[in-house]
Structure 1
C-alpha cells in the first residue's frame, strides 16, 4: 500500500478496503477479511464503518494509512481484531479487552439472556459469576439489572484488572474477588446467591490442534483448556455451587456444543433438578441451566 505514481489520490478508502481485504484473505488468518478490514480502517481513522462508505472516494494520505498498515499486519499474523482495537461489543456494551482475557463471543450472550430470564421475577437478585474474565457477563447483568447484587470471581489478577476497568468505564457495580474456584475452601463464604453463572474453560487438551492461530496464539490458554476431558470445571461446580446457592437457586453454564449430554448427566448425578439446554444462534447446544432444590 505504498504511494505509487499519481500520489495519495490513488489510495481512496474504497481502494484501501479492496486491497486490504485481498491481503487478509491471502494471509489465511481470518474467515471475515472484509469485515476485519472495515473495522480496522474505521478504528485507525476514528470513523464508524458506515462513515467509511459515505466517504468511499476520499483519498487517504500516507500519514493516515501508516497506523492502519501496522494494524493490518498484526491481523495478518493472526492477532484478534479486538486485541488490536482494544475493544469488543457485547450485549450492546463496549468492553475493553486485551491478551489477559478471552475475547467476548456472541454465543456467550445466550448465557446472559438465560441468566436474565432465571432472575426476572426476583427482586434484587444475588448473582455470582465464576471465571469473569473481562467482566462481560457480570457487568452486562449489572447493567441490565441495576438492582442486582453481583459478585465476580477470577483466578487471574490481570483479568480482574480488565474487569475492574470495564466496571468503571461502564458505570456498573460488581464486587470482584481473586480466587481459584477449583479449590473447595473458597466456597466457604457467608453469602447466598439466587444464581451462579459461569463460562468456564471447556476445551479438551487434545483439541488444541483444531484451534485457529487467532485463538491458540493470542488468547489466555488457562481460560480455554480444561484437562483431561474438558469437563473438570463442570464436575467441580456441580458439587461446590450448592454451598453458595439459596434453596431453589439456579446454575447457568456455557458449554462446548458437543458437551450437553455429559454436562447434563454430571448435574443430574449431583442432585440438580430441572436440567435443560439452550441452543445458540446456529442451533447448537450452548447453555445448560439447572435448579438446586436444597437438601
Structure 2
C-alpha cells in the first residue's frame, strides 16, 4: 500500500476510539463532527479497510481499527516526548499541561498555584480534568494526576501540598435535635446517612480510626449522591448525616449549618499529592508547575 495516512488523520482516529464518540473527539481536536466524519471516511477509503463501526447513536473500533490505535498509542507518546525535549531548547515552557484531578483539589489549585503559573508562563496552557475516577495518567494521556496520598500508585513520584486533611461526619443542628448523636461509628447503622456512590457504581464505605482501632462502615440511608458538595448541602437541610472532607464541610461548619459528630473517630490523614511517573522524561511545563506548587506551599499561599 503506497498510501500513507497523515498524522492528523491518525490522531483523529485515536481520539474517536478513545472517546467512542465523534462529538467528544471533535471537541478535543477543535473540529466539527462532520469534518471528523469526512476525514474518517476518506481514511478508510484510502486504506481500503473499515476502521470504525458506526450506528446512529454510537461508534466503536473494528478489530483492524483497535489494532491500529493500540500500535499508534506508544508512537504518539514518543512523538510528543520528542517535541517536548526539543521545546526545552526554547528556554521557557510552552504547550499544554494536562492534569487529572478532583473538584476539591482543583479548587485548592485555583486559589493560588494556577494564577501564578499562568501569569509566570504565558506560553503555557493548563488543562485540568476533574474526575472522581482513579485513572491511569500515563495510559489516558495526562502529564500528572492529583489525589489523596493514600490513593497515589506506589510507582509514582508524589509531591505533597495543602497539608493534612480529615474526613468528618457532619449533620445539621435540626437533625441532631430529632435524632441522638451517634457516639460510635457502629451507631451510624441506626441513623439516616447520606451515602456517596463512586463512579464505579460501588457505595463508598465510611472509614474511621481511634487509638489504632480502624472501622469501615457500610452505612444505611435513603439518599445516595455522587457529588460531595451536594452531600454537605443535603446534610445542612437536615436530611441526614454526611461523611465529607473538611474542605467541603468548612463553609457549612463556619456558618453553623452543620456540626461535626464522632470527632474523635476522624483523625487527620496525609492530604493531596500531585503525582507523575518517574520512569519517563518530565516535561518542562510540569517541572515549572511543580516549582510554583512548592513555592505556594512554602509561603502558605
TM-score between the two structures when normalised by the length of structure 2: 0.26
Q: Who wins on radius of gyration, i.e. which is larger?
A: 2
- Between 1 and 2, higher relative CO (CA 8 Å, sep ≥ 6) is seen in 2
